[in-house]
Amino acid sequence: NQKVVLVTGCSSGIGLALAVRIARDEKKRFMVYATMRNLAKGEALVEAAGRTLGRTLEIKQLDVCDENSIKACVNSLPMRRVDILISNAGMGIIGPIECQTIDEMKTVMDTNFFGLVRLMKEVLPDMKKRKSGHIVVISSVMGIQGILFNDIYAASKFAVEGFCESLAVQALRFNLNISLIEPGPVVTEFERKVYEEGLKIDLSKADKVTADMFQNIYLKNYSQIFESLGQTPEDIAEHTFKMITMENPPFRHQTNTLYTPMTTLKYADPNGDLPIETFYKMVFEHDKVFNASLNFLKLLRWRSRKSFTVEK
């Protein structure tokens, strides 16, 4: 009576850690289909999966930007059954919008947002028929709050959240669960890729103030944010594992208690100015305010009604 779990984007980072964590369940409650766009990049997963490979974990090809590949993957599963869908594949983009092309932006939307939509179109109808299933989406704190120079990425995650929040009402009618996992910074390939792309941006299309803000403030502090607040992919895997094994999973879950005071600012001021002004001060009065803010964040612990913690 194993539950079938389909995870996307498993060649690295959170997806890899997650697939392995679930496959390693001591009670062997899950059969994990760990999928990736390019099977040639499966080496790290094969190594991490160890003895679970061919037992509770199988690797399959799936490109979230290609409907046919999603269909072929789901059709290859016994009875097309997916009990738990984990939509994890995603990509980042940073920089001033003046320096990004519409095509680059569309690729991010196509992966992060339409990737999820394509998966849902393939899996949701079967779940509705069976009146059982759990859809877990790796969103981000940027799905509820925008961050400087993450305009397009945040927009893609806001789209994900709006989509899921709307569908969640319908899902109740079919006894299905939808859950959004909202990590803050996580130290993965994602961070490195986004940073390296950031360094390559041709800033000549931006004015001097914007270019300076990006290069000398944002990029300079980028690594520090990950160092001071960053979680590991294994942390996120543990939170997600808890989400799929709990009785009554919440719709939203933020994984980083150091970050939650920031997102709480959003709900503290209905006008929406408080978080924007706070971020402004953090960025532009960096040295004075940033360290003070970090210490403050470390003191605060915010817990929502259905929130849960994960023991280390």
Active site residues: 153
As measured in angstroms, the least distance from the Cβ of 30 to ligand NAD is 19
Find the shortest distance in angstroms from Cβ 89 to ligand NAD: 3
Q: Please say which residue, 90 or 275, places its beta carbon nearer to ligand NAD.
A: 90
What's 231's DSSP letter?
B
Q: Nearest approach, Cβ of 253 to ligand NAD (angstroms)?
A: 12
Residue 17 or 201: which CB sits closer to ligand NAD? 17
- C-alpha span between 169 and 182 (Å, rounded): 19
Tokens of 20: 């392995």
**Residue whose CB is less far from ligand NAD, 93 or 206:** 93
What tokens were used for 256? 């980083």
CB of 16 to ligand NAD, least distance (A): 7
Structure tokens at 41: 């990049």
- The per-residue DSSP string of 8-59 comes to S-TTSHHHHHHHHHHHT-TT--EEEEEEES-GGG-HHHHHHHGGGBTTTEEE
DSSP string spanning 64-104? Answer: TT-HHHHHHHHHTSGGG--SEEEE-------S-GGGS-HHH
**Cα 152 → chain centroid:** 15
Q: Residue 35: phi, psi to the nearest 5?
A: -110, 155
Residue type, 77: L
Do strands 134-138 and 177-182 pair parallel, antiparallel, or not at all (unpaired)? parallel
Minimum Å distance from CB 145 to ligand NAD? 12
Residues at the interface with ligand NAD (CB under 6 A): 8-9, 11-15, 36-37, 63-65, 88-91, 111, 115, 138, 140, 183, 185-186, 188-191, 193, 233
Residues 163, 182: Cα–Cα separation, whole Å? 15
Query: Given the complex with ligand NAD, which of 211 and 236 has the nearer CB atom?
Result: 236
Q: Which is nearer to ligand NAD, 58 or 63 (CB)?
A: 63
